[in-house]
């Protein structure tokens, strides 16, 4: 039904013989249990790595913002202050866990969990490379959208459960914003789905190529617009500036997580940073060719996998950097501006794009603009 990391590993001869050995020794359930174990390990690795990346994200954010504002940024813990996030984590663990009076304790407990669940749930389908995808669901896109929306609920419940006016408003804003921006994001994802004919991230990535002109962003004018809609929508979905209304410091103290302390706060923060990473990764996979490497260098070998990881991470981190730069460049929007941008501009344009991509598929048999424009030239040069 789906490609997973286990099915990828099953391509290799030693693994196969090991499975055969397991089957002989333990009967039919042996490989299943082993696959379970591999999944467990892979999940732990990915979650751990992503948690680290999320932590490093806070560091990067502080460092880059410091650069932009001509400050030093964190520079005490570790070389260039790189271990600052560990120190922060330790500090948060140590903090007293305060639950406000009159707070809804059940919801107050469940909200950060929900946030983290939503974010980690999405990691299951992020295509890090052709081999290292936890599971390449054939409904990956829909799964991602569904699980990802847990975060919105978490934000809202967090705001509600705190029993504080600031948190309440922040939560309301967050939830409405996330729901609204889901529309253009999903529409622009659908454009890509239309082009590639599959809902799985691996399939979408493989429908593109390693070279920029083979990426979906340059496939036709509509997808070019679509990428930016996706990117803007992702910014809004992850509550990043200039859409950081739910946690607007100058208005709402700290928004929906004002009342959270210690580990609960850390959960929220971690969820946010990992979500940014995941969304950047998704944008890269959908529009920028994901893990595709030019010439398909390395092939299926382990080096190929490393190159693919490199390609994926370089694109994703470039977008991540862009996100941070945007946060420290643009001023925050007003609520009405936010909503009108979503419903009056992004959504119609995304709809237009979707229709446009459909037309393009129909008219030009799904050939990219590049192919079309250079068709006659290529024919003249004898290239077919």
Q: Please, which residues bridge with residue 135 across strands? A: 4
Q: Is 32 in the site for another protein (CB under 8 A)?
A: yes
Whether the CA torsion 215, 330, 347, 248 is positive or negative: it is positive
Interface with another protein by CB under 8 A: which range of 5-13, 172-180, 303-311, 331-339? 172-180
Q: Which of residues 301-360 bind another protein (CB under 8 A)?
A: 359
Least distance (Å) between residue 362 CB and another protein? 6
Contacting another protein (CB under 8 A), which of 127, 152, 170, 210?
A: 152
| Phi, psi (deg, nearest 5) at residue 239 | 55, 35
**What would the two tokens of residue 369 be?**
């603009």
Binding track over 246-285 against another protein, x by CB under 8 A:
----------------------------------------
d(CA 131, CA 381): 38
d(CA 103, CA 383): 70
Least distance (Å) between residue 136 CB and another protein? 12
Q: 84 and 62 in contact (C-beta within 8 Å)? A: yes
DSSP structural state of residue 297: T
How many chain residues bind another protein (CB under 8 A)?
Answer: 40
**What would the two tokens of residue 49 be?**
């790595």
| Phi, psi (deg, nearest 5) at residue 211 | -85, 150
Q: Which is nearer to another protein, 334 or 375 (CB)?
A: 375
Contacting another protein (CB under 8 A), which of 157, 190, 192, 349?
A: 157
d(CA 207, CA 227): 16
Q: 336 and 177 in contact (C-beta within 8 Å)? A: no
Binding track over 69-108 against another protein, x by CB under 8 A:
-----------------------------------x-xx-
d(CA 97, CA 324): 30
Interface with another protein by CB under 8 A: which range of 90-98, 148-156, 237-245, 292-300? 148-156
Contacting another protein (CB under 8 A), which of 165, 213, 334, 375?
A: 375
Interface with another protein by CB under 8 A: which range of 54-62, 251-259, 325-333, 370-378? 370-378
Q: Is 172 in the site for another protein (CB under 8 A)?
A: yes
Q: Which is nearer to another protein, 222 or 260 (CB)?
A: 222
Q: Is 175 in the site for another protein (CB under 8 A)?
A: yes
**What would the two tokens of residue 66 be?**
């410091």
d(CA 137, CA 199): 8
Q: Which is nearer to another protein, 7 or 138 (CB)?
A: 138
Q: Which of residues 186-245 bind another protein (CB under 8 A)?
A: 199
Q: Which residue's structure tokens are 């424009």? A: 373
Least distance (Å) between residue 221 CB and another protein? 9
Least distance (Å) between residue 301 CB and another protein? 29
Least distance (Å) between residue 96 CB and another protein? 26
Q: Is 372 in the site for another protein (CB under 8 A)?
A: yes
Least distance (Å) between residue 39 CB and another protein? 10
Helix (H, G, I), strand (E, B) or coil at 301: coil
Q: Which is nearer to another protein, 336 or 365 (CB)?
A: 365
d(CA 282, CA 253): 31
d(CA 197, CA 199): 7
**What would the two tokens of residue 6 be?**
């286990």
**What would the two tokens of residue 137 be?**
């669901």
Within 10 angstroms of residue 132's Cβ, the number of other Cβ atoms is: 19
Q: Please, which residues bridge with residue 4 across strands? A: 135
Q: Is 120 in the site for another protein (CB under 8 A)?
A: no
- Which residues bind to another protein, rule: CB under 8 A? 1, 29, 32-33, 36, 104, 106-107, 110, 137-139, 142-143, 145-150, 152-153, 156-157, 160, 172, 175-176, 179, 182, 199, 359, 362-365, 372-373, 375-376
């Amino acid at each position: 039904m789906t490609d997973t990391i286990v099915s990828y590993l099953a391509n290799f001869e030693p693994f196969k013989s090991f499975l055969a050995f397991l089957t002989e020794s333990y009967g039919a359930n042996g490989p299943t249990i082993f696959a379970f174990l591999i999944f467990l390990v892979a999940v732990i690795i990915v979650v751990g790595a992503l948690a680290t990346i999320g932590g490093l994200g806070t560091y990067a954010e502080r460092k880059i913002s410091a650069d932009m504002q001509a400050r030093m940024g964190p520079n005490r813990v570790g070389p260039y202050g790189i271990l600052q996030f560990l120190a922060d984590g330790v500090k948060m663990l140590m903090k007293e866990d305060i639950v406000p009076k009159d707070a809804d304790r059940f919801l107050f407990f469940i909200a950060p969990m929900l946030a983290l669940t939503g974010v980690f749930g999405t990691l299951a389908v992020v295509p890090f490379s052709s081999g290292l995808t936890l599971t390449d669901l054939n409904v990956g896109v829909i799964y991602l959208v569904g699980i990802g929306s847990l975060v919105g609920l978490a934000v809202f419940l967090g705001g509600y459960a705190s029993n504080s006016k600031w948190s309440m408003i922040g939560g309301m804003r967050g939830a409405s914003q996330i729901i609204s921006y889901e529309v253009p994001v999903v529409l622009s994802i659908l454009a890509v789905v239309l082009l590639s004919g599959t809902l799985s991230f691996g399939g979408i990535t493989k429908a593109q190529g390693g070279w920029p002109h083979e990426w979906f962003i340059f496939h036709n004018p509509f997808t070019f617009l679509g990428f930016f809609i996706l990117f803007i929508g992702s910014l809004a979905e992850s509550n990043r500036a200039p859409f950081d209304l739910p946690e607007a410091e100058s208005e709402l103290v700290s928004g929906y997580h004002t009342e959270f302390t210690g580990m609960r706060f850390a959960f929220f923060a971690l969820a946010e940073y990992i979500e940014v990473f995941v969304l950047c990764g998704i944008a890269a996979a959908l529009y920028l060719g994901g893990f595709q490497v030019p010439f398909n260098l390395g092939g299926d070998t382990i080096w190929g996998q490393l190159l693919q990881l490199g390609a994926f991470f370089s694109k994703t981190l470039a977008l991540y950097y862009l996100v941070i730069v945007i946060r420290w460049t643009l001023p925050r929007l007003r609520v009405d501006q936010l909503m009108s941008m979503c419903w009056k501009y992004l959504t119609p344009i995304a709809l237009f794009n979707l229709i446009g991509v459909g037309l393009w598929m129909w008219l030009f048999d799904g050939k990219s603009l590049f192919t079309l424009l250079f068709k006659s030239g290529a024919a003249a040069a004898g290239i077919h």
